[in-house]
Amino acid sequence: MTMTSLAPSSGDGNCYYILTEDCSYGSKLFQAGNLCFCSERSYLRNFSDDRRPTCFLRVIMLDDSSTVTLNMEILQPVPEKVASFLLAISSHSERLNYFLDRVNLEAALRALPGHRVMAKTEHQYFPGIIRYIGSIYRRTAVLSPFFFGVELQGEGENRGCSDGTYRGTEYFKCKKNCGIFLPFTKVQFVPDDNHGKQKPKADTEEVVPVKAGDAVSFYVDKVLTKGIAMEVYKKGTQWLVKICPEEEGTTDIFREIPLDSVVKENLQSLFPPFESNMGSGPPNQMKQEISESSEECDGGNSLEVNSMVQITLDKGTRVSGIIRWLGYLPQFEHKMAGVELDEDKGISDGEWLGKYYFHCAPKRGLFVKLQCCQPDVRFQSSHSSYLSLIDNGGQEVLPQPPDSFPPLRNEAAVRVLCGRMKGIQGHCNSCYMDAALFSLFSCTSVVDSMLFKPFLLCDRNVQSILRDEIVNPLRRTGFVNAKSVMHLREQLTDKGQCSSFTNAEKDPEEFLSLIMHQIVGIEPLLKLQSGGQKEQDCCCYQIFMDKQEDLVVPDVQQLVERSFLSSDLKLVEIPSCFIIQMPRFGKEYKMFSKIIPSLELDVTDLLLDSPRECCLCGDVATLECSECFKDKVFAATGLKQFCSSCSRQVHSHYHRKTHKPKELQIPEEFHTRSARGCQLVPREKMELFAVLCIETSHYVSFVKYGPGNDHWMFFDSMADRHGGENGFNIPTVTLCPEVAKYLDLPLAALAVEQPRDMDGVAKRLFCDAYMYMYQSKKMALYK
């Protein structure tokens, strides 16, 4: 789903957009989340004419059909099908949240009739099967909302409201009161765990005789050539096949051939590049079952699912990857391996002849004889402990499949995560790691790039442990065994970075810095610049400031602004994830007895060379004054920047005549816009998604799982213990809606509130905060 470019495809259709900020137009106020559109021809005229493109676009609002002119900076393009799904959500704010979250939306786009889901009705989720996807209204408007027609099953039977018919039109057939039509927000899409499940056929597959992965033949200069179909697609009115010819090497050269010039070959010829060096295979009897066991290969190497391997192709090209499946394929007597490659040199996404044997990115999957796989010498290590993980409760824990599972939100988060023996099980001083991992991965995808992207310096072994043993089990079952975290800690110790990761107390920032930058090698979360000096990269920002008597109970916004001002710092770009450490040092010292969590962090005035708003008149600011920031005449929150006119007035007072305002660098386009009278500065805000807290050397975390102020859950990896020294910890996740009560309290009332009298675990959030985590869903679209 591409949402990063405003440019539409050419044609006679419409371009759809969603407002990312509230916008007033005349007497009307259009809330963020409104959908609008313009014709493609109208859009293209803005850019095809000789005149300079305008930064405004004339659009028609879908809600009331009014025509308005909007600043393109607050518009995000939306594909038509995505717009149809979003239109089914009546609440504008909820619509925008689901658009920015992407997880549910992308799952809805992948869904097909026949897929199993959990459907929400009567405030509960029940199993069902998708029978219909589309509009249930007669098309009278430009765009119709899309709904899912679900046949409820099991406990959900007789909890529906139809038999597949809506307002006299039949969309599918089922028993009476077993059918229901829902927007995608009320459907939980169940990941497909059955690797051999038949893939639902798309309409095009019934028409096109060749598909990706098929062995094919075609003629080149009257010479019959064989190869593998890599992609089948339509260009204009003509179907084309992208083919990798045999003689050119398995993936070195592709040819684009018209579909009507391609003949599908016998499947037995699909693996000629791998016929050399073949020993005698397993018994000739075909084994129909799909095996995911860890049997040894014929060459004597203990290769199993999740083994790191290397494969030599026909021209000596060597590729590496991870075995994701072992077993027997139809028409092949040899034992086969399904390998997820490190590069786009495969031929599938884990599918073979309509069945999925494993899942991976397109062109990353390759099926080869197991004999062709050799252990990757870069990652040789014993996997015996990996395959025999026994949890402290006495149950066997097998490695999780390599599929990706989305973060848990709203009701799904409550259903999967809450309870005893939920979350990440603590063991031997691991609470700093448990709390950090739970905060970063349970209910948000903002740093999911750590799990999948092949970064330049990435340690694939650590990345796969993090993804397959920790994040996937957490999101799928709500529980991660202590052995999985210990496996990660052992790997961090083996890398030689620190010999005490398996047993000593650590700080969360030490762990995050190590795994993000030195092990996985992701791009730095923060890019900072101080006083025109060289940029600095980091993953966490530590608040540094002097004790200030006027701040009794500060909020995070105030602390960040004062710290940036005192260090003369600016953000080089808007971060997708902003991790902030409070002015405290473990259990020894904390500057403030209480800190108010700012649910939103406005970073507009913290950005380098970005347009800013005059704090008095709202026009584009041209000057900033650090001395005015300390002046109690002005508001306590917000940096003090002024337009030229307001700056002259403010500094004409004898108390402020000695101030030395600093000139701001404003983008040229904002000067032009200001001259036209359109000087509104867009606000860049980030939302709080987690807080790490510490009390008596023990870390816990609060995670925001939904949009409401009361949508908080509290996680403690060592909340309870079973047995003595030979026992095990019981991790627990509980809901803590009482937090909302104190977030809504006036500052004066919160200041006198005694921690011991605060309800539930609210005291931990307000008094023990150590690290705040913010995300920008808008910027996460580009990461």
- Which sequence positions are flagged as catalytic? 431, 698
Q: What is the DSSP string of 503-537?
A: TS---HHHHHHIIIIIIS-PPPSEEEEETT---EE
User: Would you call 562 helix, strand, or coil by DSSP?
Assistant: helix
Please provide the DSSP assignment of 121-181 as one string.
ETTEEEEEEEEEEE--S---SSS---EEEEEE-GGGTT-SSBSSEETTEES---STT-EEE
**Integer Cα distance of 498 and 370 in angstroms:** 37
Chain-centre distance of CA 672, in angstroms? 37
Query: Residue 563's closest CA among 577, 551, 575?
Result: 551
Give the DSSP letter string of 103-118: HHHHHHHH--TT-EEE
CB neighbours (10 Å) of residue 562? 23
Three-state DSSP string of 364-429: CEEEEEHHHEEECHHHCCCCHHHHCEECCCCCEECCCCCCCCCCCCHHHHHHHHCEECCEECCCCC
Closest by CA to 447, choosing from 514, 497, 519, 512, is 512
d(CA 245, CA 254): 7
Distance of CA 418 to the CA centre of its chain: 21
3-state secondary structure at position 744: coil
Q: Are 68 and 59 in contact (CB under 8 A)?
A: yes
Task: Yes or no: say if 719 and 732 are a contact pair by the CB < 8 Å rule.
Answer: yes
Structure tokens at 555: 């909020």
d(CA 77, CA 105): 15
Instruction: Report the 10 Å Cβ neighbour count for 711.
Output: 20
Q: What angle do CA 425, 430, 431 make, to 5 degrees?
A: 75
Q: What's phi and psi for 629, nearest 5 deg?
A: -60, -30
d(CA 392, CA 727): 7
Residue 203 CA to residue 129 CA, distance in Å, equals 19
Half-sphere exposure (CA, 13 Å, Cβ side) for 774? 25
- Cα–Cα distance measured from residue 44 to residue 128, given in angstroms and rounded to the nearest whole number: 44
